[in-house]
Amino acid sequence: MKILVCISKAPDTTTKISFTDGDTKFDESGVKYIVNPYDEWYALVKGIELKEAHGGSVTTVTVGTAEDDATIRKALAIGADDAVRIDVKAEDAGQVAAEISNYAKSEGYDLVLLGKETIDYNGSQVGGMIAEHLDMPFISLAESMEVDGNTATLDKEIIGGVQTVEADLPLVVSCAKGMAEQRIPNMRGIMAARKKPLKVVDASGAALQTTFVKYALPAPKSAVKLIDPNNMDELVELLHNEAKVI
């Protein structure tokens, strides 16, 4: 089974976010980047599990510059066989999806996996766009997957229950929590990752489809009011008249 896993970077969750150029650009100075957790914990690990069960290979693909190579090497340390970096800065979902699809069209992948979203933009757009470009079925927000021959069986949570879906390969799947258990790179994997192939390919020149007009930080949290545990009347009054939750 030939598996392609889409890997993107995201700011570490402890990063202090700020903006520049009149709040039109994200300020990357001093930012520590990590592998997007949904791509790493669920899509990549599931791809490795499928390779271990059925044989084949796992290749990661990233749209980005040389600054992303450290992030890509971490994915290799977890267990991917090789990596591809499409040499252009990722600017929007449409561009990323088109670049990945233009590369993958001639490679004959049986399965394309990616996380359900990135933790910075939370768009959930790239998977569906890739499926459209490649003319493949698309299953979104899958929480489990088994492959038998040429058929994949997937479960996804819906309102009031779980939906089970079957689809033939080749297939694009966005992976949600539950798809796999997180794997931590060990020293052997880290050392091996240094020697694994990281192929850099030219971008196809996919056009940007959106522009960012303005960023804004969320409103600061309001102050906390401390109530004496013996003063339940005051608590009830505040919940009713101020918070308006009862």
| Model pLDDT, residue 29 | 84
| Model pLDDT, residue 201 | 96
Quickly list H helices, 107-193.
Answer: 126-134, 187-193
| Model pLDDT, residue 51 | 96
Nearest-angstrom CA–CA distance, 144 and 151: 14
Nearest-angstrom CA–CA distance, 246 and 234: 13
pTM confidence score = 0.86
Q: Which DSSP string do the residues of 21-74 spell out, in sequence order?
A: TTTTEE--TT--EEE-HIIIIIIIHHHHHHHHHH--EEEEEEEE-GGGHHHHHH
| Model pLDDT, residue 31 | 86
DSSP state of 96: H
Helices 126-134 & 93-104, crossing angle to 10 degrees? 40
Q: How many CB atoms lie within 10 A of CB 117?
A: 22
| Model pLDDT, residue 16 | 85
List the domains of the chain with CATH numbers: 2-218 (3.40.50.620)
Could you list the pLDDT tens digit for every one of the 246 residues in the chain? 999 999 999 998 888 888 999 898 888 888 888 999 999 999 999 999 999 999 999 999 999 999 999 999 999 999 999 999 999 999 999 999 999 999 999 999 999 999 999 998 889 999 999 999 999 999 999 999 999 999 999 999 999 999 999 999 999 999 999 999 888 888 888 888 888 999 999 999 999 988 888 998 888 887 788 888 888 888 898 888 888 888
